[in-house]
Structure 1
């Protein structure tokens, strides 16, 4: 009877371990930062960050609390992700339209220094965003 109990206890411990391992995400975000935007116009750039490309995670930009100085208020902002290239023109990794939420650039698949720039404002000239989160 003791052998059966030990086998059952071992099986339960193994099941508990498998259950614990399965809740761990396959890829953890490599990095992130939080900030805000105050009176940006087309051409303004974010701070830069280093992406080791150690994970296959997306690069995303989140806006919350968006305002524009135009009469129609904030509708959207055009954002372009750039890879900083020393001694050469920076490389565009795509443009997305942010409607005051998340935009996803996918996995840039390239280690390096990145930043984003405002390319378009839907209404007016300037935007302000209370909360900005960039994750990669």
Structure 2
């Protein structure tokens, strides 16, 4: 998928976060339980993504894909974004499912093997204070 098409898809999706075909994680089969696409506009840590429900109907990995990555550091540019996957827990602290550095591509968290509501948060930025991502895809 070209960068122009990803940008157009991100703009059309907007906040509604439409889920449709495209790039899938290397470890996720075509029977992935779910996915959504979006964009990130100047996030700083700690910022949370939208939440999604994983019924654990498949054994697919949970993955987050970034394309068109920028930071506010004009000299060094985008290096990475540390993303932490969380499982929401009612009336208790949310459960940390791992942290991965996204260098503007895929990061996989494996199969959480645990039905529930999930989200990811920005923990750290490699260069600068803010990130902007033209195209984000989350699949589980």
Give the drift of 1:83: 0.1
1:127 Cα deviation from its structure 2 partner: 0.2
CA contact (8 A) 1:27 1:55 kept: no
Q: Which sections of structure 2, spanning at least 5 residues, go unmatched?
A: 1-27
Number of residue pairs the alignment of both structures matches = 112
Which of the residues 125, 130, 133 maps onto 2:129? 125
Q: Deviations over 1:88-134 (max 9, x none)?
A: 00000000010000000000000000000000101110000000000
Compute the RMSD of aligned alpha carbons.
1.3
**Aligned-pair CA distance for 1:27:** 6.5
CA distance 1:26–1:134, shift in 2 (3 Å)? closer
Structure 1 residues not aligned, in runs of 5+:
1-24
Q: Is the 8 A contact 2:29 2:60 kept in 1?
A: no
What is residue 53 of structure 2 aligned with on the other side?
50
1:41 partnered with 2:44: yes
- Whether contact under 8 Å (1:84, 1:112) holds in the other structure is yes
Higher helix proportion: 1
Structure 1 or 2, whichever has the larger Rg, is 1
Deviations 1:39-65 (A, max 9, x none): 100100000000000100000000000
> What's 1:100 paired with?
104
Q: Distance in 1 between matches of 2:132 and 2:48?
A: 13
1:60 is matched with which residue?
A: 63
d(CA) in 1 for partners of 2:100 and 2:135? Answer: 18
TM-score (norm. length: structure 2) = 0.78
Give the match for residue 85 of structure 1.
Answer: 89
Q: Scaled by the length of structure 1, what TM-score is found?
A: 0.80
